[in-house]
Amino acid sequence: DTVLEDDTEEKIALTQEQEDSLLAFAAADPVYKKYCDEIIILLGTGLRISELCGLTTDLDFKGRQINVDHQLLKDSEIGYYVDTPKTKNGTRQIPMSGKVYEALRRAVKNRGKAAAVNIDGYKNFLFLNSDGYPKVKSSYESMLRGLVKKYNKQRKPEEALPNITPHTLRHTFCTRLANAGMNPKALQYIMGHSNITMTLNYYAHATFASAKAEMDRLAA
């Protein structure tokens, strides 16, 4: 089940400083600047990489929301296929932040020429490779590997970034919102987690001091 990938990978979240530094580096790099919008969208939505790959140009810019109801995957034997969420939690609407809204608008505008591809009824995929076919998870894994390698080459060892996968960006998004104190049920909804336990793992462990501070804040 592709939806359970959340628990398998090593959990690393980028700090805000690392995130800003990596984006600034990518934006200034002649090779990687064209991937900036995809990185901004992943960091600003918590989308699974297969959900990002499934995005089409049919976006709700007026309502400023991303409707997530399918994911695009590729199998070595059967090729591309679309998977719909197996649980009701998989289908959700994610609000577009200002940054994500701008990045998606640019992505639609800069989208390359597409091959005439129709995958299980979906077409006009947003993010295409050089052949005009939709990108898949492996394209993003190798792109992020190359970006981090180039970034680290120009940094002191203590400033080096860890290995970053597309899942790291999803994990970073979730950690950031949990640390900011988002209602766990709201965060569970945005992440599309099938159970709240997955979401609660992102929250800092409560202590008496933190519980008291919350009670004082809510009683104020």
Catalytic, 105? Answer no
Query: Which of 11, 34, 86, 149 is an active site residue?
Result: 86
Catalytic, 203? Answer yes
Catalytic, 137? Answer no
Question: Cα-flanking dihedrals φ and ψ of residue 24, to 5°?
Answer: -65, -40
Classify the phi-psi angles of 68: left when phi > 0, otherwise alpha if psi is within -120 to 50, otherwise beta: beta
> 189-198 long-range contacts, Cβ below 8 Å, gap at least 24?
189/89, 189/92, 190/46, 190/92, 190/94, 191/46, 192/3, 192/48, 192/68, 192/85, 192/89, 192/90, 192/91, 192/92, 193/6, 193/89, 194/3, 194/4, 194/87, 194/89, 194/90, 198/6, 198/7
Residue 128 DSSP code: B
Catalytic, 193? Answer yes
Q: What angle do CA 200, 69, 141 make, to 5 degrees?
A: 70
User: What are the structure tokens assigned to 24, written together?
Assistant: 């600034």
Query: Which of 167, 171, 176, 202 is an active site residue?
Result: 167
Query: Which of 92, 170, 171, 176 is an active site residue?
Result: 170
Catalytic, 74? Answer no
Catalytic, 170? Answer yes
Segments in the chain forming alpha helices (H): 16-28, 36-45, 49-54, 98-110, 137-153, 166-179, 184-191, 196-200, 208-219
Catalytic sites, residue numbers:
48, 86, 167, 170, 193, 203
